[in-house]
Amino acid sequence: EVKNPVYVAELKIDGLSVSLLYKEGKLVRAATRGDGVTGEDITHNAVTIKTIPLTLTEKVDIEVRGEIYMSKKSFNDLNKKQEIARKALFANPRNAAAGSVRQLDSSIAKERNLDCFIYHLPNPLDYDINKHYDSLLYMKKLGLTTNPISKRVNGINELLEFINEWTEKRDELPYEIDGIVIK
């Protein structure tokens, strides 16, 4: 029994899951989760997202996972353009982001100003990392964008404070969330 457990609390970004594969620090593939076994290769669109680095700060072979999303501002701008062009409006930022990364024409994804937060290192022990928070710090050190609102909390009371704070501030965020992840 752990008397004072340490958790990591993170905002659950409402977007599209992505897996990024780097070889010797260079982005070689970006893929969606797809059906859980086979995803779609979206590398041609991922390279247009400014928060996905093409080269890491170290020449490392690594796979990381994250969430591609569209900010509320980009979503509103996109729907204004759609309205002016008399095209169908997007229902929400998540659908707009998902549709954007699946386009064959990468200029469409680029103009939609997508972003990405990285939140998971599938094999941390390969990098001598045995705590989730340390994996977030390592991925950030590599030049990947992690959510700065992620927080290490001590015990259930600090965890509940984090949840309550971001439940109240949810509408102030520049992107949509669909909850909080506790690791």
Query: Is 183 one of the catalytic residues?
Result: no
For residues 181 and 110, give the distance between their C-alpha atoms in angstroms, rounded to a whole number: 29
Burial (CB count within 10 angstroms: exposed 0-12, middle 13-18, buried 19+), residue 138: buried
For residues 67 and 56, give the distance between their C-alpha atoms in angstroms, rounded to a whole number: 18
Catalytic residue chosen out of the listed positions 12, 110, 140, 183: 12
Q: Which of 144, 135, 180, 155 is nearest to 27 (CA)?
A: 144
Percentage helix, strand, coil, to 5, in the chain? 35, 30, 35
Copy the structure tokens of residue 122: 């599938």
Other Cβ atoms less than 10 A from the Cβ of 119: the count is: 25
Q: Residue holding tokens 């309205």? A: 83
What residues are annotated to the active site?
12
